[in-house]
Structures are given as C-alpha cells and as structure tokens.
C-alpha cells in the first residue's frame, strides 16, 4: 500500500540582499574609489596648463589681428612713444597699441629694446601686446623686460609660463613660446 507522505515545506521569498552580498558590493565600491581617487585628486596642474594655453592663444590671435590691422593702415613706421602719438598709433577697441615692426611691442613705448637700443620701458599695463590681447593682470602674473613678456598663472608657479618676444626686425614676427605650459612644470 502506498502511503502518501506530504510535507509542509514553507517556501519563503527573498525580500532583500544578504549581509554577505552587501559587504561584497561595499568592498568593490571601495576598491573602485581607491583607484579613481588619484585621477581626480589634483586637477590644479591641468587647470594651470589650460589657463596658459588660453593665454598663448590670446597672444597669438592678438598679434595676428594687430598685424592685419597694421597692414590695412598702410604699414605705418614704428616710432618711439607711438602708444601716445596720434599719428602713429593703431587703435584697437579704443585703446592705442604700441607697436614695433608691425606687431604689438612689449615695452609699451614702441621703440626697440634690443641691446644698445633706446627702448626700455617695461610698463606691463601699457605694453602693446597686453593691451592688444586684453590679458588682465588680475587673472595672470605678467612680467616684462624690454623685449620679452612672460605670463604665468600665478606667482607661485614661475616655471609654468608662456613668453612673447617682440618682433626684432622689420619683416620679422614675434615669438610666442608655450613649451613651458605642460603638466610637469605647472604641477
């Protein structure tokens, strides 16, 4: 004879995660966070590089735009103090821009600043390239010698820089060097 054996098995459905599953997920998230954290920890160097690349772009475009405007103005000769002399000044957005050899100068006096020459003014605020590019001295640390303008993101990163060397000869072009605007020097 056959007996039927029935068992009351209580079936339950799982209502959530087990403690082990939660711990595994937390450990995996911790590992991912630990590997991703160094990538996002110091983005300051990248920001300084981008800031210097923006300054280099501003110097290049201002120099090219000024030169085009100088050519349209029938290539006036560079004269000392052309930043204030009406006859030889080139106006850009209402500002008189000192120039030398058809490009914005560095010294702000429109005179050559090479060794043995008379140009020696280094007023950053009236520097032809600073006026033309509209680089704000509040956004950048800008220093100038008679022929070279150096732009850094701030005083604490002097090696992270872009330089503008004015056109030394008639027919020459200024040199804009952004080779120091790299992460290794801006870090």
**pLDDT, tens digit, 9 for 90 and up, residues 118-135:** 445 567 878 889 989 988
| pLDDT in the model for residue 61 | 96
pLDDT at residue 74 greater than cutoff 90? no
Q: Would you say 153 and 141 are in contact if contact means Cβ atoms under 8 Å apart?
A: yes
Backbone angles phi and psi of 129, in degrees to 5: -70, -30
Q: What is the mean pLDDT of residues 65-78?
A: 87
Domain map (residue ranges) of the chain = 43-186
**pLDDT, tens digit, 9 for 90 and up, residues 24-69:** 999 999 999 888 887 777 788 889 999 999 999 999 999 999 999 9
Indicate if the alpha-carbon torsion angle 103, 147, 175, 177 is positive or negative: negative
Give, rounded to a whole angstrom, the gap between the first and last alpha carbons of the chain: 89
The pLDDT confidence band at residue 107, using thresholds 50, 70 and 90, is confident
């Amino acid at each position: 004879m056959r007996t039927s054996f029935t068992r009351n098995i209580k079936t339950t459905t799982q209502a959530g995660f087990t403690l082990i599953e939660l711990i595994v997920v937390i450990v995996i998230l911790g590992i991912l966070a630990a590997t991703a954290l160094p990538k996002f920890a110091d983005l300051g160097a990248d920001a300084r590089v981008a800031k210097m690349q923006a300054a280099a772009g501003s110097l290049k475009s201002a120099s090219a735009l000024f030169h085009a405007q100088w050519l349209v103005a029938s290539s006036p000769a560079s004269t000392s103090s052309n930043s204030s002399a009406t006859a030889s000044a080139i106006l850009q957005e209402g500002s008189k821009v000192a120039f030398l050899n058809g490009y914005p100068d560095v010294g702000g006096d429109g005179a050559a600043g090479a060794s043995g020459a008379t140009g020696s003014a280094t007023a950053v605020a009236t520097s032809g390239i600073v006026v033309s590019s509209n680089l704000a001295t509040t956004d950048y640390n800008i220093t100038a010698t008679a022929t070279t303008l150096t732009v850094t993101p701030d005083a604490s990163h002097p090696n992270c820089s872009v330089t503008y060397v004015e056109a030394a000869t008639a027919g020459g072009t200024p040199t804009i060097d952004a080779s120091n605007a790299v992460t290794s020097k801006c870090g």
